[in-house]
Amino acid sequence: MRSNDARTLLRAALPTAAAGVIAAIVSAVVAGGKGAIGAVVATLIVILFMGIGLVVLERTAKSLPHLFQAMGLMLYAAQILLLFVFVAAFKNTTLFNPKAFAITLVAATLVWIAAQTRAHMKAKILYVEPDSSEAHKPGNKGSSS
């Protein structure tokens, strides 16, 4: 994993984890221990799904750059559908509070998307890799002579 990619992953995961901690505290106050457990489980699911998706997207960009945009759109659609499946699957659970789980799942997903967007906007990623050996040869446009 390149350093830019790792930085993007970290810059998206940390705010999501912080939002999960806040959601767990609020859920514990509102719904008790089961609310806190639901918030923690939801946060972990979002970080896991979105993190795996980011890694898959990075690998796709390296190996199949022409499919990058389509893969990104398909990946986000699949992630959102899987999150809805989790909400539907756990709506009647007694392991944790399903409302706290669902609200935290949506909130953590929105925080992840916002943090990832901000990380990409702040990243200084070259779109074209300059070839320094060609730019300094005499007679080339990039030459200072």
Q: What is the DSSP string of 79-128?
A: HHHHHHHHHHHTTT-SSS-HHHHHHHHHHHHHHHHHHHHHHHHH----SS
Q: What is the pLDDT along the chain (145 residues), one digit of tens a residue?
A: 566 678 888 899 999 999 999 999 999 999 999 999 999 999 999 999 999 988 888 888 788 888 878 888 898 888 889 888 888 888 888 888 989 999 999 999 999 999 988 988 887 766 666 665 555 556 555 555 4
Q: What is d(CA 121, CA 107) in angstroms, rounded to the nearest whole number?
A: 21
Tell me the whole-structure pTM to 2 decimals.
Answer: 0.77
Per-residue confidence (pLDDT) for residue 8, from 0 to 100:
83
Per-residue confidence (pLDDT) for residue 60, from 0 to 100:
82
Q: In the structure encoding, which two tokens stand for residue 69, read together? A: 């945009």
Per-residue confidence (pLDDT) for residue 129, from 0 to 100:
61
Half-sphere exposure of 42 (CA within 13 A, CB side): 40
Per-residue confidence (pLDDT) for residue 141, from 0 to 100:
57
Per-residue confidence (pLDDT) for residue 63, from 0 to 100:
83
Per-residue confidence (pLDDT) for residue 23, from 0 to 100:
96
